[in-house]
Structure formats: C-alpha cells, structure tokens
Structure 1
Amino acid sequence: MRLLVPIAMIFLFIGCGKKDSPKSPEQASLVFPERNSECTTGQSLSETTSRVEFLWQPSDHTESYELRVTNLNTGTTQTAFVETPSASVTIAKGVPYSWVVVSKNSGSPNTAISEEWRFYNAGSQTNYAPFPAEIVEPQMAANVFKDVNNEVTLSWVGADVDNDISSYEVYFSTETPPETLIASPAAGDMEVTVSVSSNGIYYWQVVTKDEAGNSSDSGIFDFKVF
C-alpha cells in the first residue's frame, strides 16, 4: 500500500501537466474587394492613390492576420498586420492588384493562406487591360513528367473586368525570355500541349489580349521534364 501511493501521485502529476496541442489556424474566406472586379469604393486621397478597405471572414483558431496586397504591374507587395478581419491600405488608382490573407496563431507554428483574389483599383480609365493570366500548370520551377506522346499540357486562367478578352499568345522555348510564339488560342481556350524532351528545362509565358487592344503578361515560368 505504501508503494502504491507515490506511484498514484506520479500519474496524477503527469495527467495534470499534460496540455492539448494548440490548434492550427484555418484559412480565411475573402470578401472584398471581390474577385476579378473593379473596386470603386475606395477613399480618394489624390489623383493617383486611394485608400481601400479589405474585408474577410474571421477564421477559426486565429489570433491575428497578415494582409498582403501586391501590385501586379510592379510586383511590389504591401503588408498589414491586424487582429480583426479587415484592414485599410493605400494603393494606386487604375492598377491591377492581387491580395491574400495569412491566418496566424502564436501557439502554433502553422499558418493558413487564403485564396488569392485579383481586382482593379478604380481609376480614370473606362476600359481596363486584362488581368495577367494565372498559371495553373506547370507551376514555377515544377518537375513534370511527359506523356506517352512526349508532350506536356500548359494551362492557365484568364480574367478581365470588362469581360472582353479576345485571345491569348503563348510563348515557349528552351531559352529565356521565350520568344517563339507557339499558339494563339481564342478567349475560351486556356491550354495548349507542347512537345518536350527528357531532362529539358523549358520557359513559357502567356500574353492576354482584349478587344480594345489592351494586353497583359503572365510573366515567365519555367519547368523541368523528367
């Protein structure tokens, strides 16, 4: 009996000291500015800038958020750190942007990143260039397998505030920048197949054109074939 008492005390101490692992934050759902839209509700600060309030739904197990707003013309990213599901950021007028929200919890090493949405901050123009094509696959620096026909499929997603995309130009090469135009698909066609060789490194980009003569560039992506 004397031996059982200290053993019971040890188990009691261990049980009381055990804590549940902190739960990882979950992904936030974006609300505003809406996806592939023109944002017209910003507070005008000057002829070139306005202040826009970004909104998202609160995410579970989250203590704070990091808002990342990226100018798609320059690649420059602005960040805001907040504890509430909203933040105001001063951005340029008439420029396309993308934005994401990172959910954080100080008790967990993990973070959760929302979907990426794109929008145009309203400016003086009445017609906007298309959003740069969003590359679906292969992603940047991906390692891919060719199919039985020694081909790989390139795919992307296009969007335009004015909904007047007319066509795409796909450039593909073993050199960068890729200068060989391999396809000019119509607005509804957002994939092409290309011939590749094992151990080859390839570069590609998509130029989106609209009916008003505007265009945008996806940037250059590369991948390696096994």
Structure 2
Amino acid sequence: MMRKLMLLSLLGFMVACGGDDTPPAPQGALLVFPEENSECTTGSNVNETLSQVTFRWNASKNTDNYTLSVVNLETNVPQNISTATTSASLSIAKGTPFAWSVTSRNSKSDQVAISETWLFYNAGAQTTYAPFPAQLVSPASGSTVQKDIANEVLLEWSGADVDNDIDTFEIFFSDVNPPTTSLGTTNTTTMEMSASVQSSTVYYWKVITTDLEGNTSDSGIFEFKVF
C-alpha cells in the first residue's frame, strides 16, 4: 500500500513539473501606415493608374511571419503578400478606396491573429473623394438570426469618409437579390435601423452612402436567414 502511495505521489509530481508544451499563440499586429480613414499620398508612381504603397505595422509577440491583405473596395479583389518583416509594398490602383489588415502567424502554432481592418484612399488626380463603402456589421453575411419580439432584426453598419462630409446612409432591404426596397435614410449619428422580417426567410441588404457633394458609395450586399 505504501509503495502505491509513493508511486502516485511521484507521478503527480512529474505531471506538475512537466510544464505546458503548447506553443504560444501569435498576437495581433498594430497597424501604422496608411492611417485609418486617411488619404495616402506617399505612394511611388508606377504608371498612370498604379502607385506603389509601403504598408507598415508594429511587430506582434510570438510571430515569425505576417500576411498583409489589401482589398480593393470597388472590386472586392484582395492582394496578399507574406513577409517576416513589419512592412511590405504593393502596387495598387490610384484614386481608389482600400481596406487593409495583417495576419500574424507562428510556425509552431496552428493559431493566427488578425489585426484591425483600416480603410484608406490611395491618392489619385481627384481633389474630393466619395465616402468609403459602408462596412456592414450585423447581421453577418451568411448568418442565421433570431427576430425580436416585434418581429424585427436590427441592421448595423459603420461609415467613414476622408473628407468627413457624409450626408446620409440609405438602407435597401428585401427578400430578393439585389434588394430594391428602401427602408429610409439616416445621418452619421445613426448607423442602425430595424427591419421587419418573417421566419424561415432569407433577406438581402446594403447601404448607399452619400456625401455633401453628391458622391456615393455602395456597401455591397449581405444576406442572412431568419429562424
């Protein structure tokens, strides 16, 4: 009996001192440049339509590789590049809105960490810019949601503009794609609106942003299903 107790105690000690062999997960990088909701004017000219922009971010812990993702918000086409450093250069369209983010990776871990997503305009010949396309927040595209007691679902989005002159957001919503029914407009102090829904139905929605000069941008279409 004494021998069994000693053996159990020894095994317990070995487990306690064995440590955690799980590799540390990477942390998200902090973005530096191009700045959020800004006009990027420092790109090197490539040709009439392209300029080369150098993206920079701060090093993140437990990371040995970064993937820079830059998305053209007019076409939704991404450009990706991997690097072990904290900067990377890409040739991107002039006079065009972009979103960018950085994914941190550790070769010893299956986990990844994604930074915030920042929007910017790559400078072109224009002196005024359309608003950034509204970023649809909730419901997430492809999700299934529960309606509230009033048989409504809350639509939420965010908007930004280099010129800081957004006038209205117009919300289009329907059970056909593309959505053609306008739920109305809001100003920059309100970025949410309730929509009446029915169960077991798929809905489509988008937001058109208009600035004081009449420039517009289209968020693109999200869809969701109601329980």
Q: Same fold (TM over 0.5)?
A: yes
Runs (5+) with no aligned partner, structure 1: none
Identical pairs, percent:
52
Q: Runs (4+) of structure 1 moved beyond 4 Å?
A: 13-19
The answer to whether 1:85 aligns with 2:86 is yes
Q: Match of 1:208, as an amino acid?
A: T
Residues 193, 15 of structure 1: alpha-carbon distance in 2 compared, 3 angstrom cutoff: closer
Q: Any idea what SS the aligned residue of 1:123 has?
A: coil
CA distance in 1, matches of 2:145, 2:79: 33
Quote how far apart the aligned CAs of 1:20 are: 2.2
Residue deviations 1:57-105 (CA, integer Å, cap 9, x gap): 1000000100011111111111111101111111111000001100001
1: distance between equivalents of 2:213 and 2:96? Answer: 17
How many correspondences in the alignment?
Answer: 219
Tell me the distance in 2 between the aligned counterparts of 1:178 and 1:201: 11
CA distance in 2, matches of 1:170, 1:14: 58
- Structure 1 distance, partners of 2:58, 2:72, is 23
TM superposition shift of 1:49: 1.2
**Could you say what secondary structure the match of 1:219 adopts?**
coil
Q: C-alpha displacement at 1:187, in angstroms?
A: 3.0
* Residue ranges of structure 2 left out of the alignment (5+ in a row): none
Q: Can you list the C-alpha shifts for 1:108-161, whole angstroms capped at 9, x where unaligned?
A: 011111111110000010000100001111110111111111111111111100
Separation (CA, whole Å) in 2 of partners of 1:194 and 1:54: 39
Pair 1:14–1:141, CA change in 2 (3 A):
closer
- What is the letter of the counterpart of residue 211 of structure 2? D
Q: TM-score, normalised by structure 2?
A: 0.90
Aligned to 1:75: 76
Q: 2:43 corresponds to which residue?
A: 42
- Distance in 1 (alpha carbons) for counterparts of 2:21 and 2:141: 38
Q: Distance in 1 between matches of 2:168 and 2:18?
A: 64
Q: Which amino acid in the other structure matches residue 148 of structure 1?
A: I
Tell me the distance in 2 between the aligned counterparts of 1:102 and 1:195. Answer: 37
